[in-house]
Amino acid sequence: MFQPVRHTDRGRDRSAGLILALSRPAAAVLCVLVMSTGSSPAPGGTIRHDTADSNYTSLAYQSQFNPVGRLTTSSGILCSATLVAPHWILTAAHCADLDHDGSINDITTSYTFRTVFASNYSLDESQVFVPAGWTGDINDGYDIALFYIDNPILDIAPANLYNGSSELGQTVTMVGYGKTGTGQTGSSLGAGTRRAGTNVIDNTAYFNFFGISISSTSNTATRPALLWDFDAPPSDPYFDSISYLGSSTPTTLEYSIGPGDSGGGSFIQVGANWFLAGVHSGDWDSYQYPGATEPDNRDTYGDMNLVTRVTSFASFLQSAVPALGGVYGDRNLNNLLDAGDIDLLFDAITSPLNLVFDLTTDGQVNSADISYWLHTLAASEIGDADLDGTVGLDDLQILGDNWDNAVTSWAQADFNGDGGVDLSDLQILGDHWGFGLLPDLAMSFDDALLASGLPVPEPTGAMLLLLSLVSLFRRHTT
């Protein structure tokens, strides 16, 4: 259920500082909550008044948030976006549909995605996908879009996409490039700086013809939005009167998205993994903060953030890019990157084309997908049998234990996927020997093979045979 798009952005900011955000004059009723205005596209980044901005900018540069980048148009409009595959970024639909007519076939501007490492990538405006339900109005929902990147981004691991239904009550980290300010001033300062802050997911929600309804806190994945409010700390004079959802206690880095953050990412942590749970869509000016300097009183304490819920659009995303969903590159679906994924990739190379295994999203399944899995996703190298990020003695021991055996797994040192462990695998290990090890701690490959005092378990008969064969092998190849 997706359609090709051509459009640009909404809820965004001009790099010159001019904000192009729409406000909604109609009131939206949220159960016991009455909003004085409807939702406005393009959230930014306002922070606690009692916390240094450097805490927010530092958080944004933690490596788990590297997939988030700046999305700009040739006319200077700014959004945020998240890398979800080498050729694809995820953003808000209103960042593609600039004239808000519900169509993505009339894009007249060009786009650039700038990564956290300051590399610029051009987008293909003819390959943009939005859900069929997108109307051009964020109050109707479906505010999510995929953009195709002309040249793949291979030096940043894509974001994992959350596909569960347990977001409610979790701490969420929002990352983007929007306007800033504090909860007392609103988003009154310029956009373009990378920031991140936290909040707690107070509600899941669903849209209808007049806006958004949160009549229940049901956490069902059929509700397409996540919702939270911007809580003030006790030091704020209006602390007791401006919390509408959930707890009134703010997080240490409490935060609200603002103009220019549209399309940015909201992340949650599950175990050791970080997942993209939401795409920034809009905000509600639910509280008129006294003395705020932002002209429309936007993004102050008491206001609410509306974020498109990624898990609700899993089918849409996978219909466009089959490799998406869960931990990127986890092909055996155990929420880990392990040797089983490599084994399935080797099998996929010799099987009928299945784009679920096309990790590089180039339309093919081949050795490039294995290389990408090892180098970009696992930060490892060929020859790392135990996938600990190094190629050394432990991998040599594994190879020796399986020498000349018929095996079925990378974990048994079958590095070329031919079903056995032999001299070709040994050569591969030797070519990458020492990867990930400090030079003064890495024993030379020859010494590891020939020295009698190897710091490894007692050599087996297979290992002793290996040592003699390798000694002969290396004398004839060096």
Annotate 408-454 with DSSP letters as a single string.
Answer: --GGGT-TTSSSB-SHHHHHHHHHTTTTTS-GGGPPPHHHHHH-TT-
Does residue 325 lie within any of the structural domains? no
- CB distance 5 to 97 below 8 Å: yes
Mean pLDDT of 93-101: 92
Mean pLDDT of 44-61: 92
pLDDT of residue 213: 54
Q: Is the pLDDT of residue 40 over 50?
A: no
The per-residue pLDDT for range 167-191, each reduced to its tens digit, is 999 999 999 999 999 999 989 888 8
- Kindly report the length of the chain: 478
Residue 25: pLDDT band (50, 70, 90) is: very low
The per-residue pLDDT for range 405-434, each reduced to its tens digit, is 898 899 999 999 999 999 899 999 999 999
Domain match, 291 and 365 both: no
Does residue 385 lie within any of the structural domains? no
CA nearest neighbour of 435 among 383, 360, 399: 383
The secondary element (H helix, E strand) that includes residue 47 is strand 45-47
Residue 2, token pair as written in the block: 């997706």
- CB distance 236 to 301 below 8 Å: yes
Number of domains composing the chain: 3
Whole-angstrom Cα Rg for the chain: 26
Residue 404: pLDDT band (50, 70, 90) is: confident
Residue 10: CATH number of its domain: 2.40.10.120
Q: Is the pLDDT of residue 143 over 60?
A: yes
Can you tell me the distance from the alpha carbon of 120 to that of 256, in angstroms, rounded to the nearest whole number? Answer: 27
Domain match, 416 and 281 both: no
Residue 349: CATH number of its domain: 1.10.1330.10
Q: How big is the CA angle at 305 (ends 292 and 71), to the nearest 5 degrees?
A: 95
Domain match, 132 and 245 both: yes
Sheet of strand 180-182, all strands in order from the earlier edge strand to the far edge: 186-189, 180-182, 45-47, 255-257
Across the chain, what does the average pLDDT equal?
83
The per-residue pLDDT for range 193-246, each reduced to its tens digit, is 999 999 999 988 765 433 455 544 555 556 788 999 999 999 999 887 787 788
165 residue type, one letter = S
Residue 125: pLDDT band (50, 70, 90) is: confident
The per-residue pLDDT for range 325-367, each reduced to its tens digit, is 999 999 999 999 999 999 999 999 999 999 999 999 999 999 9
pLDDT of residue 16: 25
Query: Can you state the angle between helices 461-477 and 423-431, rounded to 10 degrees?
Result: 70
Does residue 198 lie within any of the structural domains? yes
pLDDT of residue 408: 85
pLDDT of residue 442: 67
pLDDT of residue 243: 79
Can you tell me the distance from the alpha carbon of 52 to that of 60, in angstroms, rounded to the nearest whole number? Answer: 14
Domain match, 375 and 400 both: no
* Full domain range(s) for residue 32: 2-319
Domain match, 359 and 288 both: no
Domain match, 364 and 255 both: no
Domain match, 155 and 263 both: yes
CA nearest neighbour of 180 among 265, 14, 290, 299: 299
Say whether 464 sits in a helix, a strand or coil.
Answer: helix
pLDDT of residue 26: 28
Other beta carbons less than 10 A from residue 256's beta carbon: 34
